A = this chain, B = another copy of it.
Amino acid sequence: MARRRVGLWLVGGYGGVATTITLGLATMARGLNDRTGLVTELLDFRGLPLPEPGDFVVGGHDIRRTSFEASAREFRENSGVFEPSWLEACRDELAAASARVRPAPRLGLSRAVARLADWPDAPECRTAREAVDLIAADLAAFAESESVDHLIVLNVASTEPPFSLDATHERWKSLEPRLGDPGAVALPSSSLYALAAIEAGHTYINFTPSLGASIPALLERAGSTGSLLAGKDGKTGETLMKTVLAPMFAHRNLRVQSWVGHNIFGNRDGVVLDDPTSKSSKVETKDRVVAQILGYKPSSLVTIEYIPDMGDWKTAWDHIHFQGFLGTKMTLQFTWQGCDSLLAAPLAIDLARLADVEKRRGARGPMPHLACFFKSPEGVEENDFFKQFDALLAHCRHIKES
């Protein structure tokens, strides 16, 4: 029997996360690296029909013209990761993948993102509908030429600023006519990709805080095409810590008075977030989880600041001030020094693997059991990491038993 081919289409293909995914899949396929960081390699996931690294074929869209090799080299220089020997060993895979990255339409870009766009061949388009169709054509060509069994569109593009929805976004029938309207920006860029994926019944996973598929009209549309959906915003560092520590305070009945978190980092995502409008999307998702878990809202503060020399090393300092017995004030502080894309990439691969398991068993629609991977799990109220993880395990047990 032929091996399964899973297409992984990276929106933001030459970014840090996307490059790490692509290089990571290649080095794992060659046995140059072990599987540390992949949740799906834990014992609990044994017995699921998970695709192997070599089963994935990578393509994508980007607004910048470069290559995986150049992007990996740049990353190495700024952040001190990736062995030069890996780049050499995987030169062919990287080149082949670069050939499958297409220039992205520039509609619906924020100002901060538009400043990055430098690919001269970017296709012209005047309406959302035109952009969606251009994207859809690229997806179709990729699926066809690579004979993929399942196509997953993964959003790892730069974070967009918040986008205001209005009444027309509530229903597909009110949104659809607006898509052809050349004047209005009916959808942000991330949602154009989501819609293209949904209309073709592909799987759509949003690893970013951007809007993506999180629009009633798009969810309605997905209902009819059966696309698998997951999002949003990968839970990698400080927020992961928050959803791990807040339950501890809750279960010990220690009253959190304030939770202050300061994040600094220096990658391209930081350049974009440095624009105040983009940042607010991110801060919002990072700040809400604590109050949800505790059941009350302590004083809180979250900053994310761009400090160029930090490269991909996202460093967070959190200061948690809490009251214990007899009103005694105590403090917990932590410093998290994580390399962001190296934390994100394996989770994105996990999501793709678990989505493929769903696809094979004929599931459709949102995948709430994947909540533990996201800062803002769509349609899931629970932010306690351990409860989310238990839900994932329960789901997997259920699959294995059925």
A241 to chain B, nearest CB (A): 8
Q: A252 in the interface, Cβ–Cβ < 8 Å?
A: yes
Which segment, of A132-140, A195-203, A257-265, faces chain B?
Answer: A257-265
Pick from B24, B252, B343: contact of A37, CB below 8 A.
B252
Check B303–A262 contact: CB distance below 8 A.
yes
Which segment, of A57-65, A99-107, A111-119, A305-313, faces chain B?
Answer: A305-313
Pick from B253, B309, B327, B338: contact of A257, CB below 8 A.
B309
How far is A323 from B80 in the complex, measured between Cα atoms in Å?
13
Chain A, 292-334, contact with B by CB distance < 8 Å: what is the 0/1 string? 0000000101010101111000010101010111111111111
Check B253–A264 contact: CB distance below 8 A.
no
Interface set of A (CB-CB < 8 Å, partner B): 20, 23-24, 27, 33-39, 41-42, 80-82, 84, 86, 240-241, 244-245, 247-248, 250-255, 257-258, 260, 262, 264, 299, 301, 303, 305, 307-310, 315, 317, 319, 321, 323-339, 342-343, 345-346, 372, 385-386, 389
A295 to chain B, nearest CB (A): 9
A358 to chain B, nearest CB (A): 20
Contacts of A253 in B (CB 8 A): 35-39, 41-42, 346
Pick from B33, B247, B343, B372: contact of A327, CB below 8 A.
B33
Contacts of A323 in B (CB 8 A): 36
Check B330–A333 contact: CB distance below 8 A.
no
Take A252-B39, A258-B309 as given contacts and tell me if A319 and B329 are in contact as well, using a CB distance cutoff of 8 Å.
no
Check B326–A264 contact: CB distance below 8 A.
no
Check B307–A299 contact: CB distance below 8 A.
yes
Check B328–A81 contact: CB distance below 8 A.
yes
A19 to chain B, nearest CB (A): 12
Select from chain B the residue with minimum beta-carbon distance to A44: B251
Contacts of A264 in B (CB 8 A): 258, 260, 301, 319
Pick from B33, B247, B332, B386: contact of A337, CB below 8 A.
B332
Select from chain B the residue with minimum beta-carbon distance to A343: B324
Contacts of A332 in B (CB 8 A): 241, 334-337
Check B324–A339 contact: CB distance below 8 A.
yes
